[in-house]
Amino acid sequence: MDPLIFDLSTTPLREVNAALHAADLDGEIVREIVIDKPAGAHSVAVGLDAPVKVSVEGHVGYYAAGMNQQAEVVIAGNAGTGVAENMMSGTVVVRGNASQSAGATAHGGLLVIEGDAAARCGISMKGVDIVVGGNVGHSSAFMAQAGRLVVRGDAGEGLGDSIYETRIYVRGTVASLGADCVAKEMRAEHLEELAGLLKAAGFEGDDLSAYTRYGSARSLYHFHVDNTGAY
């Protein structure tokens, strides 16, 4: 089956997204979609809810692949603020770098950023898995509630600030940890989990012993006046 091809240099983005939300886009009639010449457009391939593959051939702006469900979206370039924001399921892959707030509030699925991610990667994540091939910026996984974040490079200041149950794995150095985030023991089940995440993201073969696990110290779960300065 030939892919459905849209050229954003000649077709308005509104028409493209309308076609991607059509009732017959169910993965049976259309299985593969190519979006060509995005030229940094915002809100590309948002709100998908079908088991289809979408290839975006270039750089995108804000909120690409936001609210994704079921679809596999591959961005062959860099992504602006909020890529895969509030994703529910499926897979989003960024072949380049991502700006701030990648995967923000996402509930499920897998987000892979092959390059670096800027500040607040995984902020308030609620069940998504995020694997970053390079570094992440400051305040990543801030108030992260559930899911897993893997960083193959370094992490900026305030990692995991006010974290809940998200598990973080970092191979490089961490500039500083946020409130209530601490290094934790890497047990056998965590090594198995990390290996599975790396394999799913296409980074199989990393030395797992080089990673450190971080998570919540659970001292800020309930308000206590002695902890006022940490909130």
pLDDT at 190 over 70: yes
pLDDT at 228 over 60: no
The predicted structure's pLDDT at residue 31:
79
Strands (E), 67-124: 72-75, 91-94, 110-113
The reported pTM is 0.93
How high does pLDDT run on average in the chain? 93
Q: Please count the CA atoms within 13 angstroms of the CA of 165 that sit on its side-chain side.
A: 5
CA separation for the pair 9, 210 (Å, rounded): 45
10, two tokens: 């000649």
CA separation for the pair 131, 211 (Å, rounded): 13
Q: Which domains does the chain have, with CATH numbers?
A: 63-203+210-230 (2.160.20.60)
Mean pLDDT lowest among 38-52, 58-72, 124-138, 213-227 = 213-227
The predicted structure's pLDDT at residue 21:
85
The predicted structure's pLDDT at residue 4:
86
Pairing between β-strand 32-36 and β-strand 4-7 as defined by DSSP bridges: parallel
CA 176, 180, 184, 190 torsion-angle sign:
negative
DSSP tag of 155: B
DSSP tag of 208: G
Rounded to an integer, the average pLDDT of 142-163 is 97
CA separation for the pair 197, 193 (Å, rounded): 6
Residue 168 and residue 219 in contact, taking contact as beta carbons nearer than 8 Å: no
Residue 97 and residue 117 in contact, taking contact as beta carbons nearer than 8 Å: yes
Residue 101 and residue 122 in contact, taking contact as beta carbons nearer than 8 Å: no
> 218 falls in which pLDDT band (50, 70, 90)?
confident
Q: Is 49 helix (H, G, I), strand (E, B) or coil?
A: strand
CA separation for the pair 186, 199 (Å, rounded): 18
pLDDT at 223 over 60: no
207, two tokens: 């030395």
175, two tokens: 């500039």
**Ordered alpha helix ranges (H), the chain:** 13-20, 188-200
> 219 falls in which pLDDT band (50, 70, 90)?
confident
The predicted structure's pLDDT at residue 118:
98
The predicted structure's pLDDT at residue 227:
59
